[in-house]
Structure 1
Amino acid sequence: MEWLVKRALSIRSATSPRFGPRGEVYYLSDVTGQMQLWVNKSGVHDVVLPWDGRVGDYRVAPDGALALAADQNGDEKWRIYIAVGNDVVPVSTEGVNSLGAFSPDGRRLAFTSTRDDPQNFHLYIYDRESGETKLALQLAGINVVEEWNEAGIFITHYETNFDSTILWYKDGEVRELTKHEGEALNYSPRLVGERLYFLTNMAWEYVGVAAMNLSTGEWKYVVQLDRDVEHFDVDGGYMAFTLNEGGASGLYFMHLPSALTHRAAIPTGVITALQYRGGKALFSLSSINKGHEVYLYQGAVRQITSSPKYGTPLDAIPEPRIVQYQSHDGLKIYANIYNPPGEARGVVVYLHGGPESQDRPEFKPLVAALLLAGYVVAAPNYRGSTGFGKTFIHLDDVEKRWDAIKDVEAFAKWLQSEGIAKEKPCVLGGSYGGYLTLMALATAPDLWACGVEMVGIFNLVTFLEKTAPWRRKYRETEYGSLEKHRDLLLQLSPITHAEKIKPPLMVIHGANDIRVPVYEAEQLAQRLRELGREVKLVILPDEGHGIAKVENRVRVYTEVIRFIGENLRRG
């Protein structure tokens, strides 16, 4: 069984595909042990550069030059470089950088960065001929360069994680295109002629595709449904787009002049990236029982990559079952129940991060390994999760956090009442899911056999004080303000309830985490040890917010599954 677990944790992935100017396909893969940039030319796959570190994003210029965003030891301080053949030039290596877009001729690169201001992502332009980087526009908060075309540079500016607007920068002037009242997401602009297509949920619960006339500013929905559009691209008179359909993705093609639409037949899973060119849809798809691979659709699906699976019988894992349960106040919550291929040895409750996220039937190495080890994995999409409309997203804001915590307690009780959990389950989560894991153990300790907390929050006050400066404003919208809600933040913090945590706990954290600093794990372990509790602390010196390196994943997650097995047997 241990070798089966290690096989599952060794599985590699391929994602983020893009067409090159000569028909080649670029993508990211961790075949080497961490994410690197690969290229497929005429069916031959190769690493583009033997990069020392993790590549997190990239862009391809019309002349084939490559812009890379890479970090070191998981620190997420993305540094930007341009590579042409064997020549690699650093563009921006200070602060945190967000890779943007090449100009239409490929001679310049637009990006945003905190290099001169730790709280704000300003717009910069790098000139490949002169080698100079210039500040083009000062902008407050988080800003992402989405597209650079003949009309100018299009930028998404985020007021909060769920309120954004599209800016148009041209000839030194900036114009806001999507002015709105109240909260609305507006992002991912694509200009086709005079029409700007973009994703939005203005005056609607879900994200759809809209089209705006740049000359008049008038816009209307092109796709408006009772589910979220997540990716889209336009080529000629057609648009490809993906829908979140109960967690899995649907891929659709629309003839724009007639609005005739058809759904493509693709494997079950979650589409994580999409590009549509010349009638071909290039996408990556993540599936719990297929892994994470790159596909091409042109009338039919063809798999482009085949990442090593190390002999793991992934196809034996059943598709998850979607269930509903009733929380403490009568609200119905959706959850995914992942069953192992054979007889169940126990239940692990998996709490996703975010909280602005959703558990979906995508490939998660730890979940796959737990399933193959014989455990049921039960994953609730508690209030605050995405995928269920923007009203649902805000049901856990600030003082409403208690309701999300109670959603987890209600789920544990429901699992027992349904006979899914015949004994006490273990609770496991990362980031916000790690925070919820601690609160679940503190508020209902008798429900759990053990807990595994990864890169989570122990004290909301110290978290907000120490997180990266540019993140604080956006996290305060979710959790509460240090100035206005300090007492509430403490009441909602696991540190205040630490003496109630009784089940054995395993804590995992990366030393280079800039989102949730490692201090959270250190003070958690210290406090529990003072209370005489059983706690195992693992700090990874070469990781950040999560485990990016495969060798660390195999080693640490194998320990996690062993820890869970020992405590479920004891419980």
Structure 2
Amino acid sequence: MALGIRELLDLPTWRAFDIDDAGRILAGHDASGSIQLVELGTDGSATPLTALPGACSGRYLPGERAVVVVHDDGGNERAQLSLLRLDPLPAAAAGLDGLEPLVRDPRFIHNLFAVAPGKIVYGTNRRNGVDFDVVVRTLADGAETVVFDQGGMLSEVEVAPNGRDCAFTRDGTAAVSDQLFLSDAQGVRAITGAAEPARHSTFFWDADGRSFVVSSDRDREYIAVLRYDVAAGTWTEVVAEPERNVTGFLSPDGTTLLAVVNDGGFARLSLRDARTGALRHRLELPEEGCTGLYPLPDPKWSADSRYAVISFTGPVTPGDILRVDVVEGTVQQVTDSAAALAGASLARPELHAVPTPDGELVPCFVYRHPEPADPGLAASAVLMIHGGPEAQAVPAFNPLLQALAAQGHTILVPNVRGSDGYGRRWVSLDDVRLRLDSVADMAALHAYLPKLGVDQERAALYGGSYGGYMVLAGVAFQPELWAAAVDVVGISSLVTFLRNTSAYRRASREREYGSLEHDLEFLEQASPLRCIDEVRAPLFVIHGANDPRVPLSEAEQLVAAVRANDVPCELLVYPDEGHGLAKRANRLDAYPRALEFLARHLSAAARAQG
């Protein structure tokens, strides 16, 4: 039995945001149509906590029965911070008027970085709308201390056990890099150089506050778990894998490391000694899938270091919460999102390595449904290109992918050059003036289609955000290859995108794409809008009116240009969405129409009619 897109979109998903001292789990659940907070009790109870207009997230406040709630307005990504008290538990899920304002100013962004007893640490761009400052706020009296205000876009902040020192990162000057800082009694100092090509994430202080664990590719090709000794200023390796990224999550008592290995997008989990890296337990997941990878929340530890909770998804698991028992070395599945899939047939991925003319191999997941519904779509293909670009397509549940496969399309989900997860060399192969090399990878994928039994004249592109740029670049620079395309919040011109994106994002994106000051000619050359007269493929365009990353104007100028050339183009704009479709109601409107669009243009009958 194959499920339709509406049935697939109605499948609820779970994710784990936190676990408190008593073992209660702060969960995200989207049964209402967007991610809302739910508390899962140790007795199996589920208590809805929020009923906000849009998606939200949160963290428990240590030592108190309260949650710090992170929310925005219509997907505008201007995060606001509020407090929800849980003693007693609310009789009904709280709306905005049921939350206590904590840090609110809708003109600016307030990203929650860390929670500590009586304190929160957040980043805000309220000083000038561009640069992010690190602020420690004492909740009892509202007193705030700015611990960093030297400019830049901040990624992560973690506070030491003394409640004062913190380690944090801001964007470096090299593409796909950040600079590591330490703030302590001596002031703020840089630990790594601004131009150093390295990433640092998932900070965890040791219990004595003398060192911290960080996942980094400093001085190496792949991310490993490293320890930095603050007093000595030295680095030591804790866990590393050959040709795989490893991310580590340190327990509060500093004894145990939850290690997540990225094996081509599949997660391999283990518990290890935090000092030596020695293996204690390998952890079995419900199926081959992923966890600890964006956009899933990071694993969280209980205060006593006995349990960790993780968010999990797989090709046939919409999204669940798992609890790791450190003592037993076991994994318990707390929720069961796949229960509604009993008896349903779904597509599972095959892994292919697609050769390119210059000798590279593009990792690619290929999905084919065991019971395709429409014989007229046999031998058609849809390439789904991920965003980022420094991101990774992983074997996660995707209702749109499953619906496309169920119709009869062969689905290719590649990690073209510039994708994360395959070492620093691969993620850097599309930087600035190498941008069009990643576009060329799509031509290599098109050339590979006959090996999959696909008709090359019946291939389409689908992508969102940077993936939307890739879609538009494909139909503009390779017009003879693609029969149709779906662009979701995509970039039509790198020049206008950089000029019009949120000011706080511009410098960060210029590291990857090139700067308006130094690379304008190339940015124009690499922009799909430059070759818009070459586009022949029908387009289906989706955008959120509140998108702060890729402004709506990118879609509007694209649609105007292709329609002026009499190219068929459909445009859907959602007034209550930002960078993508977060609300189920909007997905239920847009995705069936996108499916119908692709089926119409890729069917054997349509191609036969010319």
Residue 25 of structure 1 and its aligned partner are, at CA, apart by: 0.7
Partner of 2:333: 303
> Closer, same or farther in 2 for the Cα pair 1:421/1:83, shift >3 Å?
same
Q: 1-side partners of 2:422 and 2:75: how far apart?
A: 31
Letter in 2 for 1:184: A
Q: 2-side partners of 1:60 and 1:512: how far apart?
A: 31
Q: 2-side partners of 1:118 and 1:557: how far apart?
A: 35
How many percent identity over aligned positions?
A: 28
Q: Is 512-521 or 125-134 further displaced after alignment? A: 125-134
Match of 2:573 among 535, 539, 549: 539
Partner of 1:329: 358
> Closer, same or farther in 2 for the Cα pair 1:477/1:178, shift >3 Å?
closer
| 1:234 and 2:223 matched | no
Letter in 1 for 2:140: E
| 1:516 and 2:550 matched | yes
Q: 2-side partners of 1:230 and 1:516: how far apart?
A: 30
Partner of 1:316: 345
Letter in 1 for 2:530: T
Letter in 2 for 1:55: C
**Can you list the C-alpha shifts for 1:337-371, whole angstroms capped at 9, x where unaligned?**
01113246321111111111111101222112222
Secondary structure class of the residue paired with 1:396: coil
Q: 2-side partners of 1:494 and 1:78: how far apart?
A: 32
Match of 1:116 among 119, 122, 127: 127
Q: 2-side partners of 1:419 and 1:404: how far apart?
A: 24
Partner of 1:201: 217
Match of 1:127 among 132, 138, 163: 138
| 1:549 and 2:583 matched | yes
Residue 190 of structure 1 and its aligned partner are, at CA, apart by: 0.8
CA contact (8 A) 2:14 2:28 kept: yes
Where in structure 1 do 4 or more consecutive aligned residues deviate above 6 Å? none
- TM-score where L is the length of structure 1: 0.94
CA contact (8 A) 2:2 2:346 kept: no
Partner of 2:485: 451
Alignment of 1:168-567 (within 5 A): 168-171=182-185, 173-179=187-193, 182-192=196-206, 193=208, 194-225=210-241, 226-236=243-253, 237-257=255-275, 259-261=277-279, 262-266=281-285, 267-271=287-291, 272=296, 273-277=298-302, 278-298=305-325, 299-307=329-337, 311-312=340-341, 316-343=345-372, 345=378, 346-421=380-455, 423-567=457-601
**Can you list the C-alpha shifts for 1:512-570, whole angstroms capped at 9, x where unaligned?**
00000000000000001111110001111110100000111111001111111111112
Partner of 2:166: 153
> Closer, same or farther in 2 for the Cα pair 1:109/1:235, shift >3 Å?
closer
Q: 2-side partners of 1:224 and 1:314: how far apart?
A: 40
Q: 2-side partners of 1:543 and 1:126: how far apart?
A: 30
Alignment of 1:43-54 (within 5 A): 43-54=44-55
Q: Is 324-333 or 379-388 further displaced after alignment? A: 324-333
Q: Is 354-363 or 273-282 further displaced after alignment? A: 273-282
> Closer, same or farther in 2 for the Cα pair 1:437/1:144, shift >3 Å?
closer
Secondary structure class of the residue paired with 1:388: coil
Q: 2-side partners of 1:297 and 1:532: how far apart?
A: 57
Letter in 2 for 1:268: E
Q: 1-side partners of 2:538 and 2:505: how far apart?
A: 32
Q: 2-side partners of 1:486 and 1:373: how far apart?
A: 43
Q: 2-side partners of 1:521 and 1:314: how far apart?
A: 40
Match of 1:102 among 94, 110, 115: 115
- TM-score where L is the length of structure 2: 0.89
CA contact (8 A) 1:91 1:133 kept: no
Q: 1-side partners of 2:130 and 2:176: how far apart?
A: 19
CA contact (8 A) 1:56 1:71 kept: no
CA contact (8 A) 2:58 2:67 kept: no
Residue 165 of structure 1 and its aligned partner are, at CA, apart by: 2.9
Letter in 2 for 1:187: S
Residue 257 of structure 1 and its aligned partner are, at CA, apart by: 4.9
Partner of 2:102: 90
Q: 2-side partners of 1:424 and 1:208: how far apart?
A: 42
Q: 1-side partners of 2:435 and 2:300: how far apart?
A: 37
Residue 223 of structure 1 and its aligned partner are, at CA, apart by: 1.1
Q: Is 237-246 or 8-17 further displaced after alignment? A: 8-17
> Closer, same or farther in 2 for the Cα pair 1:37/1:228, shift >3 Å?
same
Task: State the superposition RMSD in angstroms.
Answer: 2.1
Q: Is 139-148 or 423-432 further displaced after alignment? A: 139-148
Higher strand content, 1 or 2: 1
Q: 1-side partners of 2:566 and 2:405: how far apart?
A: 32
Equivalences, count? 568
**Can you list the C-alpha shifts for 1:205-248, whole angstroms capped at 9, x where unaligned?**
11110112222111111112221113522354221110101111
CA contact (8 A) 1:97 1:114 kept: yes
Q: 2-side partners of 1:551 and 1:68: how far apart?
A: 23
Name stretches of at least 5 consecutive residues in structure 2 with no aligned partner: 87-97
Q: Is 63-72 or 140-149 further displaced after alignment? A: 140-149
Q: Is 138-147 or 300-309 further displaced after alignment? A: 300-309
Secondary structure class of the residue paired with 2:393: coil
> Closer, same or farther in 2 for the Cα pair 1:411/1:461, shift >3 Å?
same
> Closer, same or farther in 2 for the Cα pair 1:486/1:257, shift >3 Å?
closer
